[in-house]
Chain A
Amino acid sequence: MLGEGTGAGTGDPNLQIGVGPAHPAMHGIIRIQTELDGEFIRKADVEIGYLHRAFEKDCEVGGYNNAIPYTDRLNYVSPLINNFAYASAVEKLLGIEVTERCKFIRTVMAEISRVCDHLTCVGASAMELGAFTVFLYMIKAREFLWELVEDVTGARLTISYGRVGGVKADLPDGFAAKMTSAFKETREVLDEVHRLLTGNRIFMDRMVGVGILSREETIAYAITGPLLRAAGVGYDVRRAQPHWAYDRVQWEVPVQKEADNYSRYLVRMAEMEQSMRIAEQALAMLPGGPINVDFEGRPIDPAAYVDQGKQGKTEGLLLVPITLSPNLQGQNRAAWNRVNVHDKQVVLPPKENTYGSIEGLMNHFMLIMEGYGIRPPMGEAYFATEGANGELGFYVVSDGGDRPYRVRCRPPCLPPLAALHRMIEGEQIADLIPTFGSVNMIGGELDR
């Protein structure tokens, strides 16, 4: 178009504007090629794939548990949900069920993750409309929740906490008190944000009636999550196909009717409160599970333990508790029994066994070494949970070997992006920003 040399342009009165891929309002990297007639968008073409990292191909190369760190990087704002969804898909393929305590832990951690995700989404889109204070408040609240996540998983973002057959470690001591105070802070922030935004004239002018996608089209585009619920359909995977502990807690599915950006904002704000409700109830109901204490006596260092074993002093060694290094303490035998499936062919043994007995060490190696590891029977399984953006599904195909034959992630934010042009065409270019913010695109998940 440019450089045609005639000085007369293309004869097309409309202006072509490319937004992105590196634009401050495009949260990930994405390109929206728009055709403008004055201020109005006549046509839009959304181009994705800038963050493609071959997630699905990478999964086929390593063992089943090797894919867990990759799933962290799908939706990097709520990585715990991805972890658990993938692990549950493989468990479905294996035909095993995790322990009760593990189900509740997954529920609690997934809901904390969901609150983090919604805080980021609402905060970032409010900032783009000029409400910088809201962004700072919400990031402050997210910080409290991330500290909570860090306490449990040892990391803030790339948490790798899920395991096939369980979770990495039990909840730490004092978790309930920390969660209570973090939720208190979060609730205060939500109150403040409600006062700042919900009736705010400027905010409403930008959000009400903007980015509408009708109920029928939302369904036809397979959009799930807050966008679907903002269009009046109360579909939530947690309610429709309850898994983990969602059928044992009381909560509501927030629904709005208008299908515009403001409804999406209201749905997300209400969902954060519901998520905290779920997490609180699930934590209060957290079952103890079996704790097999088969040793009493003084703690012993693993190295000394091995040395004694080498000298033939093996009698009674396994009955001695071993001092684990602090970062492995959540993986001791008592915790392992509570949160993991009792199947030696699936879950890594407790660290005390790995360091303390040859059988435990062999068990560990058999699950880690290439060519061994978890071997689900031949077949396929699809498991879906409610991600922060909608239905997050994993379709796993096994050929009976130790590596997944195929892992497919159904990314919840791909359908809204496929329908984005329907939401922005006919509206002003400035409305692109709040609409794009309301679909909450997460590049890692969209492009995989």
Chain B
Amino acid sequence: MQGRQILQRLRDRSGGAVVDSHEHHGDATLVVERAGLIDTLRFCRDETSLDFDVLMDLTAVDYSRYPGREDGPRFEVVYHLYSITHNHRVRVKVRVDEDDPSVPTAIDLWPIANWFEREVWDMFGVRFTGHPDLRRLLLYEQFVGHPLRKDYPINRRQPLIGPTV
């Protein structure tokens, strides 16, 4: 399906939850409400004409320093979906506020979400409600802060850790 048709199909299905959609640079993109996220993702996966069977990537962006979006919702969690059968892609995004940085987990839909979500928690401090094992993925337990947030300075030192006696 063409990006335009995919977006049309998704808007028809979950119109109330859709905040925005665009097709910049040919990437079909849909922004949905947090409440309708899992429902939209499930529809993307299960609907035969869409059949997005691969969660290709899951990441987040901190928009707190983005021109014109300093006051809006701080984080955007980004899902890149791909369908092997139809060979098409869609990007689903959900905006979350700094006060309550949490998104429902997608583990029930795709098991790979487990590690991807752990990485987003690690790097951005966005929680995934319902995640069974939300440990840091790349950094260590004692690490303070979430480094891919824009207010984390790149040269910040972390306390040295060693074996606990």
Contacts and interface: CB of A to CB of B under 8 A. Distances in A.
Contacts of B78: 395, 408
B120 to A, nearest CB: 10
Contact of B56 (A379, A397, A400, A410): A410
A40 to B, nearest CB: 23
B24 A49 contact: no
A143 B34 CA distance: 52
B interface residue count range (under 10 / 10 to 19 / 20 to 34 / 35 or more):
35 or more
B38 interface: no
Nearest to A408: B59
Interface stretch (A56-64, A172-180, A196-204): A56-64
Contact of A380 (B24, B65, B84, B140): B24
Contacts of B137: 48-49
A95 B25 contact: yes
Contacts of B80: 382, 393, 395, 410
A95 B26 CA distance: 10
Contacts of A217: 111
B24 A57 contact: no
Interface string B103-126: 000000011101100000001000
Interface in B45-94: 53-57, 59, 61-62, 65-67, 78, 80, 84, 87, 89, 91
Interface residues of A, number: 45
A395 B57 contact: yes
A391 interface: yes
A339 to B, nearest CB: 23
A58 B56 CA distance: 23
B160 interface: no
B161 interface: no
A397 B154 contact: no
Contacts of A410: 56-57, 59, 80
B54 A219 contact: yes
B134 interface: no
Which of A60, A408, A419 counts the most B-chain CB atoms under 10 A from its CB?
A408
A233 B65 CA distance: 42
A381 B57 contact: no
27 contacts: A49-B139, A49-B140, A52-B139, A54-B154, A57-B154, A60-B154, A61-B154, A92-B26, A217-B111, A220-B110, A221-B110, A221-B111, A222-B112, A380-B27, A381-B27, A382-B27, A382-B89, A384-B56, A393-B56, A393-B80, A399-B66, A408-B59, A410-B57, A414-B115, A415-B112, A419-B111, A448-B138
